[in-house]
Amino acid sequence: MLKNYFKIAIAVLKRRKFFTFISLFGISFTLTILLVLTAFIDKVVNDNYPDKKRDRSLYINKIELRGKESMNSGPLSYYFLDHYLGKMKTPEKVAISSGFNSTNTYVNNRKVVINYKYTNADFWEVLDYDFIEGKAISRQQVTNGERVTVISEDMKKEYFGDDGASAIGKYIEADNVKYRVCGVVKSLPITSYLLYADIYLPITTYKTKLDADKGYMGNFTAILLAKTPADVAKMKIEYEAIIPKLPVPGKEWDHIYSHADSYLEGYVRSGNEQRSGMTYALTAITLFALFVMLLPTLNLVNVNITRIMERSSEIGVRKAFGASSKTLVYQFIVENLILTFLGGIIGIVLSVVVMYFINSAKFIANLNLSLNFTVLGYAIVTCVFFGLLSGVYPAWRMSKLNIVAALKA
């Protein structure tokens, strides 16, 4: 039966080529936009380089002080992370790093912008950076406060040139201080903002004394690594038990909020620590997808209704010979799904072309979009949803056609 429906659908598509072009263009263009957006989101949230132990990790990015008339939210102080997380029993390791800051330096009279980040020794054991040259900053080097650095592959090319020579042992200047290069790692896109930097420095070379400020706010984030995935829930409970016991730092504040989140929860947390940002993110993405699909869907509904009116005599004959309304509705929805999947195939091809140009243009360095099984899965779901959304109403209209009126038409 499906084979017959497919033949009928192809014959209908060939009959009115202009309508077919309009329908396929709307479907493929819509799907291209959604697939490129999906590939971007998938790259941002699912690419696990260099934090390949996400199933054992929790991310602490912010702390919030809230009072009746005021609120202050931001990254945490090194004192807070070192003092309170150091007392936790569940984490195997605690990676602490600063947010990245920028500085300008000059190489052969050419300005080079360097984004630098400070890290502790656990940072290099919790995260699995791909080393192209050299090795990570050692625990001893962190303890001694040695001026060494791990740099990204992109920074090596920009600072030392792309002649293939090793950068290990050479010096790079950042913020008027020279650091000896001990490792070169594969570069990250800036969308991995918690881990991205051009150069990584020992936290003990921080320009101010790390524990001088005993406040909760600062410039640091942390990753808690559990021994096993089963310990993650226990680790989360242990951290969140710490927060209610913290002394409130001033009369203007009533509550302190901070959470140890999964990577995705931490990435989308909106800044309001009382609520996760997951609801906002999912709502925004869903509304955008529905908005993008709305106009093509309405267009396809109109085109489908026009096709139905053209086929009214065929429908009348089939009804006269005993075809039920249910059979006709089923047939038309299947035909519409076939049309949608044809548009989907064109949309996938167009998406590959668009992603190729986006990657070639390097709008965001090191962010290479691609089609994978996750993105293709969303494409299939979108095609089914799109096909049903635009096909159900015309099919229902078709099932209600009166036999006599249909035959007269």
The count of C-alpha atoms lying within 13 angstroms of the C-alpha of 244, restricted to the half-sphere facing its C-beta, is 4
pLDDT exceeds cutoff 80 at 75: yes
- Confidence label for 10 from pLDDT (cuts 50, 70 and 90): confident
CA distance 64 to 382: 38
pLDDT the model gives residue 385? 79
For residues 22 and 384, what is the distance between their CA atoms, to the nearest angstrom? Answer: 19
394 preceded by a cis bond (ω within 30 of 0): no
> End of a domain among 260, 294, 324?
260
Among residues 260, 290, 318, the one where a domain terminates is 260
pLDDT tens digits along 112-163: 999 999 999 999 999 999 999 999 999 999 999 999 999 999 999 999 998 8
Question: 315: pLDDT confidence band, cut at 50, 70 and 90?
Answer: confident
Q: Is 175 helix (H, G, I), strand (E, B) or coil?
A: coil
The reply to whether 98 and 236 lie within a common domain is: yes
| pLDDT, position 152 | 97
State yes or no: pLDDT of 93 exceeds 70. Answer: yes
pLDDT band for position 272 (50/70/90)?
low
pLDDT at 341: 84
Q: What is residue 342's three-state secondary structure?
A: helix
pLDDT at 268 over 80: no
Quick one: 125 and 243 in the same domain?
Answer: yes
Q: Are residues 6 and 146 in the same domain?
A: no
Over 90: is that where the pLDDT of 401 sits?
A: no
Same-domain status, 245 and 121: yes
Helix 325-361 to helix 373-399 angle (10° resolution) is 150
Beta-strand runs (E) in 157-226: 171-174, 177-185, 199-202, 220-226
Q: What is the pLDDT of residue 276?
A: 67
pLDDT at 242: 95
Global pTM reads 0.81
In a domain, residue 96? The reply is yes
Q: In a 3-state reduction of DSSP, which class is residue 117?
A: strand
pLDDT of residue 241: 95
The reply to whether 82 and 34 lie within a common domain is no
Q: What is the mean pLDDT of the chain?
A: 86
Q: Using alpha carbons only, what angle is made at residue 84 by residues 82 and 90, rounded to the nearest 5 degrees?
A: 100
pLDDT at 405: 66
Q: Bridge partners of 64?
A: 73, 257
127 Cα distance to chain centroid: 19
DSSP assignment string, 86-114: TT-SSEEEEEEEEPPEEEEEEETTEEEEE
For residues 98 and 125, state if they share a domain.
Answer: yes
Average pLDDT (184-202) is 93
pLDDT tens figures, 317-348? 777 777 777 787 777 788 778 888 888 889 88
In a domain, 134, yes or no: yes
Is residue 270 in a domain? no
**Three-state SS for 234?**
helix
Q: Lowest-pLDDT range, 23-27, 255-259, 401-405? A: 401-405
Residue 57: inside a domain, yes or no?
Answer: no
pLDDT band, residue 19 (cuts 50/70/90): confident
| pLDDT reading at 2 higher than 80 | no
- Give the pLDDT band (50/70/90) at residue 63: very high
Report d(CA 353, CA 265) in Å as an integer.
32
3-state secondary structure of 329: helix
Whether 180 and 95 share a structural domain: yes
**Among residues of the chain, what percentage have pLDDT more than 70?**
95
Residue 138 within a domain = yes
Q: What is the mean pLDDT of residues 178-203?
A: 94
Statement to judge: residues 14 and 79 lie in one domain: no
Q: What is the predicted pLDDT for the residue at 271? A: 58
The distance of Cα 185 from the centroid of its chain, to the nearest Å, equals 22
Instruction: Quote the CA–CA distance of 258 and 64 in Å, as a whole number.
Output: 6
The whole-angstrom separation of Cα 321 and Cα 89 is: 77
Report d(CA 281, CA 263) in Å as an integer.
14
Please tell me whether residues 66 and 40 are part of one structural domain: no
User: Does residue 329 sit within a domain?
Assistant: yes
Split at pLDDT 50, 70, 90, the class of 238 is very high
Pair (191, 332) in one structural domain:
no
Judgement on whether residues 110 and 246 belong to the same structural domain of the protein: yes
| Structural domain harbouring 315 | 1-47+280-408
> Are 92 and 225 found together in one domain?
yes
Is 363 a member of any domain?
yes
Q: State how beta strands 101-107 and 71-74 pair.
A: unpaired
Number of domains the chain contains: 2
pLDDT at 175 over 90: no
Out of 230, 260, 290, a domain closes at 260
Return the pLDDT at 259.
92
CB 339 within 8 A of CB 24: yes
Q: What per-residue confidence (pLDDT) applies to 394?
A: 77
| In-domain check, residue 273 | no
Q: Does residue 33 contact residue 209 with C-beta atoms inside 8 Å?
A: no
